[in-house]
Amino acid sequence: MFSLESFHQEYETDTSDLTIKDRHFRFFTPKSLDKFIDPEDIFHDFPLWSKIWEASIILSDYLSGMPVDSEKRFLEIGCGMGVVGVVASRFGHRVTMTEYNPDALSFAKANASANLSAGDAGLEITELDWGNPRLEGLFDYIIGSEVIYKEKDYQPILKLFESFLKPSGEIILAEGVRKTSVEFFRQMSGLFDITAKKKILRSREEEVRIILARMKFKTPRISYPRPQ
């Protein structure tokens, strides 16, 4: 059983505030990355999940404006600290947040506990290994932000789409403009109808360009029961 008390005993945290359409959120973030980095190889499994990415803010804002349908289910892949799933749930969507990294899962659970109440939409948080995915049921939407970092993940992510998206379902991704994300969408364009918009987040220090893409399979698909 998860508890915030146990979470704070295990992790030193800071907080980051976020406002989406006049609703306020406060997210726990790691105070230091030392706990999550291998000192022998700081680039091995670097904790990319430990930051609130601009793409997550863009996707959160987009989902907050979507009409709520209690029958529709959202699957978030690579949820990290839980920003997108928590915001979407607060705005009434039914979300299953998934992540492989156990520390990220702990932060996602803590942020859900801190920002959601019993009156918010049902939220599930569970582990998901892209190489050996185990989930029950199909989803109306698959969502993700900053999940396209490595070319080796293209096929596992496609398999997730094929395995867990309803035949008429839709994928919504927010990704920074970089070589791997642009190439991913290029490769997927043969299988999907893709509608993409470029979003820009500006601050005094920088300007960040984000691709917000909606994807649907071009060919109607028949869903078969998956072996257990």
Q: Are strands 139-145 and 165-176 parallel, antiparallel or unpaired?
A: parallel
Stretches where the chain sits below pLDDT 70 are 38-44, 119, 121, 220-228
Please check whether residue 63 is in contact with residue 88, taking contact to mean a CB–CB distance below 8 angstroms.
yes
- In this structure, the number of other CB atoms found within 10 A of the CB of residue 64 comes to 18
The predicted pLDDT at position 38 comes to 67
Q: What is the pLDDT of residue 228?
A: 47
| pLDDT 10s digits, 35-57 | 887 666 555 677 889 999 999 99
pLDDT of residue 37: 78
Domains and CATH numbers, the chain: 53-217 (3.40.50.150)
Looking at residue 227, what is its pLDDT? Answer: 47
What's residue 121's pLDDT? 64
Distances (CA, A) of 128 to 24, 42, 133, 157: 28, 24, 6, 12
State residue 35's pLDDT score: 83
